[in-house]
Amino acid sequence: MVEIPGSQTVLQVLRIISGSGSTWRNRYVTLRFHGASQGWILVYPLSGNTTPYFDFMYGADHPPEEVFSGLLKAHPGSLILDWSPGRSACMEVPVADVETLAEVMLAIAKGAWGESNPQVEAFYEEMGKA
C-alpha cells in the first residue's frame, strides 16, 4: 500500500481520487481514521462507476441496516450490499457528488465506531490485472 501524503479529510481524499481521471481507475483507496476506533473504509474506484460503493469496518453482530436505517432512508437507493457479522460491511450509495459521499462515510464512521474526526490517513493499492 502506498500512502497518499498529508493529513487530509475524507472529503479531500475523495476529491483527489475523483478528480484525477484515469490515474485512480485501477486503485483501491483505504481511509484510516485517527481516533481510537482504528476504523477504516475501503473505497472502490470512483472513476467510471455510476454508483459508488465501499467496504467499512463493522464490528457488530446485528444487521447494519438496523444501525444505519436513518442514513439509508435519508439517501434513497442506498443499500447494504453485504456484511460479515463482527467484521465488515459493504454499502452502495447512488450519489452524484463527492460531498454527499463524504457525508455518508462520516455518518458511517460516527454510527459504527463513534468517530467524529474527519481527518484520515489515506493509502492506495493497485488492482491486479487479469
3-state DSSP helix/strand/coil % of the chain, to nearest 5: 30, 35, 35
> How confident is the model over 16-44, as a mean pLDDT?
85
pLDDT range class, residue 7, cuts 50, 70, 90: low
Give the model confidence (pLDDT) of 45-99 as tens digits: 876 666 889 999 999 999 999 999 999 999 999 999 999 998 999 999 998 789 9
Model pTM?
A: 0.90
Examine the pLDDT at 130 and tell me if it is beyond 60.
Answer: no
Percentage of residues of the chain with pLDDT beyond 70: 92
More confident residue, 59 or 7: 59
Nearest to 110 by CA among 45, 25, 50, 33: 33
Examine the pLDDT at 41 and tell me if it is beyond 90.
Answer: yes
> How confident is the model over 35-46, as a mean pLDDT?
86
- Tell me the fold of 2-126: Yope Regulator; Chain: A, (3.30.1460)
pLDDT range class, residue 23, cuts 50, 70, 90: confident
Ordered by start, the domain boundaries in the chain are 2-126
Beta-carbon count within 10 A of 56 CB: 21
> How confident is the model over 14-43, as a mean pLDDT?
85
Summary mean pLDDT of the chain? 88
Per-residue cell: 82: 453485504
